[in-house]
Amino acid sequence: MKEHPKFAVIGGGSWATAIVKMLCENLDTVGWYMRSVYALEHIKKEGYNPNYLSSVTFNTTKLKLSNDINTTIAAADIIIFAIPSAFLKGELDKLSVSLEGKIIFSAIKGIVPESSLIVGEHFHTYFNIPIENIGVLTGPCHAEEVALERLSYLTLACADKQKAKLIAKYISSNNIKTTISDDVIGTEYAAMLKNIFAIAAGIAHGLGYGDNFQSVLMSNAIREMKKFIRKVYKMKRNINDSAYLGDLLVTGYSTFSRNRMFGNMIGKGYTVKSAQMEMSMVAEGYYATKSAWLLNQKNKAKTPIIDAVYEILYENKDPKSVFKKLTEKLN
């Protein structure tokens, strides 16, 4: 592994912007790919992303900006993907350069719809990336609070802990604390599931349920997460660690949570389509709900919250009626 590896970030959203901000504090050069030519030109000229986290300013001499994913990836040793899972395959289909020898970290919170795999498994299965070269960058952390330079914590998971420590070295700062984990699969599934539970929290709020119910919902959610992940990949893990419980809580309660916002709109009577049109950001939990529900048809974990969200989003059932039944299943 190179002493001073070259980093690249793939994506133009809030998480990608926040990750580039972190890396720029410790590196002289960061590769950054995004599709939007307008956003790229704006960053070059004005020094900030016009679409996401516009309060974050960059020293543009540190950025290697490109709307050609092959150019960005070819120049990098370590690549952090931070785009919605629903769009990942479309971007990877553009690749003409090899990923051989690259270290891939995912900051994506979802399942790739076309393969029904979490991102790490997708890279391993379809691009033959060795397991020890695949990692996950997860919370508990909102990109918006990184932009505000509020104290934030990140978890880096990789089978090769030395690689996780290397990434941690380059994203750590006075405002960013890091934790290392070897539970790559568990943390990635947790990052996906917490978005579904955040939608449930939002629906509950939109329907008028109070804090008392929300506390019970989140208590049941962490137990449901534990059951689901144990069915998928059984290993020793503490579900109360920040990568699981902490990430669930910040996503379920925070006003920055796009998934909670999406759920709140559904609870208030928006259709799925109208809620999606109203939001300027992708609510990953919408796509994750279908993927998790389908996966659980095989694994058979007891998941009443995931089932309830699925019924509302994909079977067009009335949120009020579904949640009334859900309240009888929680404890």
Q: What is the DSSP letter of 265?
A: H
- What digits encode the pLDDT tens for the residues 48-67? 999 999 999 999 999 999 99
More confident residue, 84 or 199: 199
For the chain, give every domain's residue range.
7-182, 186-327
- At 46, list the tokens: 């004005």
Virtual torsion, Cα 72, 73, 76, 77, nearest 10 deg: 170
Residue 2: pLDDT over 80? no
- What's the distance, CA 241 to chain centroid? 17
- The pTM of this model reads 0.90
Residue 101 pLDDT greater than 90, yes or no: yes
Q: Residue 236: its pLDDT value, please?
A: 85
102 and 78 Cβ atoms separated by less than 8 Å: yes
Domains 7-182 and 186-327 share a fold: no
Q: Which residues touch 306 (CB under 8 Å, ≥6 apart)?
A: 193, 196, 224, 228, 289, 292, 293, 296
pLDDT at 281: 66
- For strand 152-158 and strand 134-138, is the pairing parallel, antiparallel, or unpaired? antiparallel
CATH class of the 7-182 domain in this structure: alpha beta
Q: Which residues contact 127 (CB under 8 A, 6 or more apart)?
A: 92, 99
Assign domain 186-327 to a CATH class. Answer: mainly alpha
Residues 6+ apart with CB under 8 A from 195: 109, 110, 251, 259, 283, 284, 285, 288
CA nearest 331: which of 226, 220, 222?
A: 220
Average pLDDT of the chain to the nearest whole number? 93
- Kindly state the percentage of the chain with pLDDT values over 90: 79
